[in-house]
Amino acid sequence: MGVRTWIESWPVYRQLTGDDPTGRGAAAKSPESARRTPRTATADTVVKSVCPYCAVGCGQQVYVEDGRVTQIEGDPDSPVSRGRLCPKGAASLQLTTGPAREQHALYRRPYGSRWERIDLVTAMDMIADRVIEARRQGWQWEVDGARTRRTLGLAALGGATLDNEENYLIKKLFTALGAVQIENQARI
């Protein structure tokens, strides 16, 4: 490194001589930062999305590199949010890729004291059997002489964080099963 380069690497020199007199921009930038490129610049694809938290519906851009989500930013195109995200929305990279996400299907036996891993397809088959049996046990053709054609044997709660398409299938399936105790956060 020559003397000139050495002097010019001082932030205070750059602040005094450059076009960043307050020292909050280029003058304060280290060579290390200058060499780096943002994850958003190297992403393979940018996928349009919507923030999953509150119902404002801020636009998000999801940056993907090598099949992994590397960054989530606000979408400046959105007339709702104009590129902004709140602390929750800005943390959604951690929500979607953080280590706290459980990645295995788990099973707790009746009276058991711990979780066990369970094969996902096996779990689905067991759940289907239990849905059929609870439905049968709670079945009511009528109440006080009026036809009800329903079951009170099973219930579902949840939907406000889901997609419309998911809610549609839940309501459709459980209505056909005769389940009426289908609820979500809208009432809570």
Q: In angstroms, what CA-CA distances link 153 with 14, 74, 138, 156?
A: 73, 44, 4, 11
Q: Which of residues 157-176 bind another protein (CB under 8 A)?
A: 157-173, 175-176
Task: Candidates 7, 16, 26, 128: give the one binding another protein (CB under 8 A).
Answer: 128
| Residue 152 in contact with another protein, rule: CB under 8 A | yes
| Residue 35 in contact with another protein, rule: CB under 8 A | no
CA 6, 9, 14: angle at the middle one, nearest 5?
130
Q: Which of residues 62-101 bind another protein (CB under 8 A)?
A: 62, 64, 67-69, 72, 76-82, 84-92, 94-96, 98, 100-101
CA 164 to chain centre: 15
Taking the complex as a whole, the smallest distance from the CB of residue 122 to another protein amounts, in Å, to 10
Taking the complex as a whole, the smallest distance from the CB of residue 3 to another protein amounts, in Å, to 43
C-alpha to C-alpha distance for 5 and 28, rounded to whole angstroms: 15
Of the two residues 22 and 111, which places its CB atom closer to another protein in the complex?
111
Q: Which of the ranges 1-9, 10-18, 26-34, 137-145 carries the binding residues for another protein, by CB under 8 A?
A: 137-145
| Residue 116 in contact with another protein, rule: CB under 8 A | no
Q: Which of residues 37-56 bind another protein (CB under 8 A)?
A: 45, 47-56
Q: Residue 125 is which amino acid?
A: D
And the tokens for 29? 């930038």
Q: Are the C-beta atoms of residues 106 and 117 closer than 8 Å to each other? A: yes
And the tokens for 93? 């990279």
